[in-house]
Amino acid sequence: MSEDLRTAALEYHAKPRPGKISVEVTKPAATSRDLSLAYSPGVAEPVREIAREPELAYRFTAKGNLVAVISDGTAILGLGNLGALASKPVMEGKGILFKLFAGIDVFDIEVDAEDSQAFIDTVVRIHRTFGGINLEDIRAPECFEIERILKEQCDVPVFHDDQHGTAIVVGAGLINALEIQKKRIEDIKVVCVGAGAAGVASVRLLIEMGARKENILVLDRKGVIHSRRDDLNQYKAALANDTDKRTLNDAVEDADVFIGVSGPDMLTPEMVKKMAPRPIIFALANPDPEIRPEVAKAARPDAIVATGRSDFPNQVNNVLCFPYMFRGALDVRSTSITEEMKIAAVHAIAELVREAPPQEVLDAYGGEPLTFGADYIIPKPNDPRLLGRVSSAVARAAVDCGVARKGYPSHYPLSSLDEIFPEL
């Protein structure tokens, strides 16, 4: 990162007040009458109602529009295990994106947990406060078991963003990139560097979408994950192929698609040159991608290149998913987030780039036209159409697959955040 950007980022977080998010009051609280409703004695009435009927927490408290963004700080972006407290800027950042794009309130919670069980116990004990739980930046393989157990033990949707949010945006971006590059998902050879949360979930989703497992080579720090390795956890073992390829340099030969969810500068120009014609390169590690787009493009002008960052074209980032996944899930009071909801989100995100974006999106991105093509394979994060399209698709899928406790909302599709509380 340049020194300028570093200084600006620290200044942004520090001033004019520390941090990026605050709590707001939503009811009048100025007079003694207001206070006797908001606090004692009036507050006793919703307490009694909720004790009698727990579902009424959705009517009388902020629960139904409140998501916990929870991390243990063990895999912060691509920076590694820097501890719970150091993850707080990222969790506050997720909070502002939830609020800005989907009107969802967030408490960010950073848990000092000595092991997975301690983390799980903490989340289970606090989960009733929230309408949903967004797990963030928890290292693999622990994240898989943590999410599985929390899904069983919590009666609100639990979603590990780095797994599923990332997989969904990879799927959406890939549908469009493949169309532009004139390739079919059934035929492509894929190399995925990173076999953690994002890598495992992305490869699983691509297989669900039609990619062939035998055409996908996944790598970790020790190289290609192949069936003769005896050091694989169960999640990596499930993705192992019988292959003689051992290094990234071997794996990229004739690959159609590179997915990087690992760390900086893994992919060299020489490797990019060995890829198949019209390659697709998703270098998604944050903050520094596996290869910089200008370097990849210089090596292969026929490539489509995406990163996870806001300062290059094609930002394949889970911000395009998690606000709307939770908006849809909360609004139908879904008990979980299912494969059907994820696939619905993939297609809703992918389809948006085929229509011209609103002027406000163009203005925010320098005023240049954005048309479906190599530099516009996925919507921009500030595209207001994401709210209506993705939330509706998710809500519809939840209702159709039987996990919704409420019907498809009569006020959907949302055209703005002013509409999220229809009874007001």
Instruction: Name the site residues for ligand PYR (rule: CB under 6 A).
Output: 77, 137, 161-162, 286, 308, 317-318
- 262 contact choice in ligand PYR, Mg ion, ligand NDP, none (CB below 5 to 8 Å, kind-dependent): ligand NDP
Q: How far is the CB of 80 from ligand PYR (least distance, A)?
A: 11
Q: Rounded to whole angstroms, how far apart are CA atoms 42 and 47?
A: 9
Give yes or no for a contact between 1 and 8, defined as CB atoms under 8 angstroms apart.
no
Q: Radius of gyration of the chain from Cα atoms? A: 22
Give yes or no for a contact between 181 and 278, defined as CB atoms under 8 angstroms apart.
yes
Q: Binding to Mg ion by residue 162, rule CB under 5 A?
A: yes
- 220 contact choice in ligand NDP, Mg ion, ligand PYR, none (CB below 5 to 8 Å, kind-dependent): ligand NDP
Q: Number of residues in contact with ligand NDP, rule: CB under 6 A?
A: 30
- 328 contact choice in ligand NDP, ligand PYR, Mg ion, none (CB below 5 to 8 Å, kind-dependent): none
77 vs 276 by CB, closer to ligand NDP: 77
- DSSP codes, 119-177: HHHHHHHHGGG-SEEEE-S--TTHHHHHHHHHHHH-SS-EEEIIIIIHHHHHHHHHHHH
Q: How far is the CB of 77 from ligand PYR (least distance, A)?
A: 4
107 vs 312 by CB, closer to ligand NDP: 312
The per-type count for the chain, helices as H runs and strands as E runs, is 17, 10
- 334 contact choice in ligand NDP, ligand PYR, Mg ion, none (CB below 5 to 8 Å, kind-dependent): none
Q: Binding to ligand NDP by residue 194, rule CB under 6 A?
A: yes
Phi (first) and psi of residue 149, to 5 degrees: -70, -40
Q: Binding to ligand NDP by residue 263, rule CB under 6 A?
A: yes
Sheet holding 105-110, edge to edge: 105-110, 66-71, 132-135, 158-160
In the region spanning residues 287 to 316, those forming contacts with ligand NDP, defined by CB under 6 A, are 308, 316
Q: Binding to Mg ion by residue 137, rule CB under 5 A?
A: yes
Q: Rounded to whole angstroms, how far apart are CA atoms 256 and 107?
A: 41
Which of 63, 94, 189, 297 is catalytic? The answer is 94
Q: Binding to Mg ion by residue 72, rule CB under 5 A?
A: no
- 39 labelled catalytic: yes
Candidates 126-134, 196-204, 348-356, 387-395; binding stretch for ligand NDP (CB under 6 A): 196-204
Q: Binding to ligand NDP by residue 166, rule CB under 6 A?
A: yes
Helix, strand, or coil here: 340?
helix
Which among 336, 340, 337, 360 is positioned nearest to 348, based on CA atoms? 340
Long-range contacts of 146-152 (CB under 8 A, 24+ apart): 146/116, 146/119, 146/120, 149/120, 150/120, 150/123, 150/124, 151/336
- The letter for the amino acid at 245 is K
Of these, 195, 349, 393, 394, which contacts ligand NDP (CB under 6 A)?
Answer: 195
What mask, x for binding ligand NDP by CB under 6 A, covers residues 324 to 363?
----------------------------------------
268 vs 286 by CB, closer to ligand PYR: 286
Buried b (16+ CB within 10 A) or exposed e, 177-209: bbeebebebeebbbbbbbbbbbbbbbbbbbbeb
94 vs 189 by CB, closer to ligand PYR: 94
Give yes or no for a contact between 124 and 154, defined as CB atoms under 8 angstroms apart.
yes
Q: Distances in Å between the alpha carbon of 214 and those of 109, 189, 203, 217, 220?
A: 40, 9, 12, 8, 17
155: exposed, middle or buried (Cβ count in 10 Å: 0-12, 13-18, 19+):
exposed
188 vs 197 by CB, closer to Mg ion: 197
Q: How far is the CB of 36 from ligand NDP (least distance, A)?
A: 47
- 17 contact choice in ligand NDP, Mg ion, ligand PYR, none (CB below 5 to 8 Å, kind-dependent): none
- 122 contact choice in ligand PYR, ligand NDP, Mg ion, none (CB below 5 to 8 Å, kind-dependent): none
Length of the chain: 424
Of these, 69, 158, 197, 348, which contacts ligand NDP (CB under 6 A)?
Answer: 197
Residues in contact with ligand NDP by the rule CB under 6 A: 75, 77-78, 139-140, 162, 166, 169, 193-199, 219-222, 261-263, 266, 284-286, 308, 316-318
Residues in contact with Mg ion by the rule CB under 5 A: 137, 162
Which amino acids are annotated catalytic? Answer: 39, 94
